[in-house]
Structure 1
Amino acid sequence: MNPCHRFLRFAVIAAAASLVAACASSSAPPPVAAPAAPQFTSPITAQQVVGKWGLAAYHRPEDASRTEAQARQGCRQPYVISAGPSGGFMMYLADQSQPSEVVSKQILPGPTYIGLPDEPPGAETDREVVRFDGQVMVLKWVDPEVAGRYGTMVYVRCP
């Protein structure tokens, strides 16, 4: 056999052996899993908020009790919260002319928020639940600019 052919054969066998050895000894690194988004709970159900509500708002904490009384008077022209098509409830977001489906959301042990279901709790478009007992619901906008314009919203369930 020609020395060039023998050298070429040896080189091919050596290259093949290296590839086989490399494939056998190297394992692909495990896929890097994206960090799981924290799951939030919905402590306030749609059934608890669907209905007619009197609505008023305040900017100063000392006006809270007076505003609750004004919200009761708002039942003459109630704010209606209806059930949403996907299990949430329909409310207006800031500066929107059409209601959006929202949910209550919370990552324990944090505060409860009401906002869009595809955003994390505490998103800029959310409202923080300051108080909820089934008859009175007090919500404060997360976005400071919106909170400055709309104030803290007081909803009182209409009879």
Structure 2
Amino acid sequence: MADQPARPVAVLIGPPGAGKTTVGCALAQVLGVDFVDTDALVETTSGRVISDIFVEDGEPAFRELELEATRSALGTPGVVALGGGAPMQPAIAELLADHKVVFLDVTIAHAAKRIGFDGSRPLLAVNPRAAWTKMMGERRPTYERLGTVRVDTGDRTPEEIVDDVRAGLTGLTGADQR
């Protein structure tokens, strides 16, 4: 029998400010596995920050780098956090089909407290609150469709969120598991 390819124990998706990186690091530590953040992977492999990629090369170039980072990350046996827009790419959504995907949900009030809507997030650079609300309205159906587990992160500690993620992943059985 051939060895199974490495797979993440969980893939975290959600909007900016949902806590994907913070929760992903905490979850990986609790589970004793590695953590991979695809945005950080893009920055490491390209040698540039995401906002510079957007400005210098445009969003399509960034999305291609994001797709390659996602393909790479999904081959690791840890916890993976995707950038907020990654699941909107049909190719990435297709890659997630057989994974345990956790949708970290958050309201704009809680997201704003966490990320402050600074200039490092290119898609939120102009009128960040309106842009976040519009973006979330467009992305929510995809997050909900892809998520096998949904966890609200608003006004909660990373430890509380990790507990809910673990309970949700443990509760996946039979037809619920991907």
TM-score by length of 1: 0.29
RCO greater where, 1 or 2, for CA within 8 Å and sep 6 or more? Answer: 2
| Structure with the larger strand share | 1
- TM (normalized to structure 2)? 0.27
Structure number with higher helix proportion:
2
